[in-house]
Amino acid sequence: MGDYKKNSLSLTGAVALGTGVMIGAGIFALLGQVAELSGVLFPLAFLVGAVISGFSAYAYIKLSNAYPSAGGIAMYLKMAYGPGTFTAAGSLLMAFSMVIGESLVARTFGAYTLQLFDVEENSIWIPILGVLLLVIAFLINISGNKVIGRTSLMMAVIKIGGLVIFAIAGLWAAGFSFGEALPSSISGDYATYSYIGALAFTILAYKGFTTITNSGGEIVNPTKTWDVPL
- Residue 73 and residue 78: Cα distance in Å, rounded? 9
> Does domain 11-225 sit in CATH 1.20.1740.10?
yes
Taking CA atoms, 142 is separated from 3, 134, 154, in Å, by 9, 12, 18
Furthest C-alpha separation in the chain: 60
Provide the pLDDT for residue 230. 47
Provide the pLDDT for residue 119. 76
Provide the pLDDT for residue 2. 44
Segment-wise mean pLDDT, segments of 10 residues, the chain, 230 residues: 59 74 71 82 87 85 75 80 88 82 80 80 85 87 77 81 82 67 55 85 78 67 56
Provide the pLDDT for residue 100. 79
Q: What is the DSSP letter of 177?
A: -
The residues, any chain, with a CB within 8 Å of residue 140's CB and separated by 6 or more, are: 147, 148, 151
Residues 63, 78: contact at Cβ < 8 Å?
no
Domain boundaries, the chain: 11-225
**Helix (H, G, I), strand (E, B), or coil: what is residue 147?**
helix
First and final CA of the chain: distance in angstroms? 34
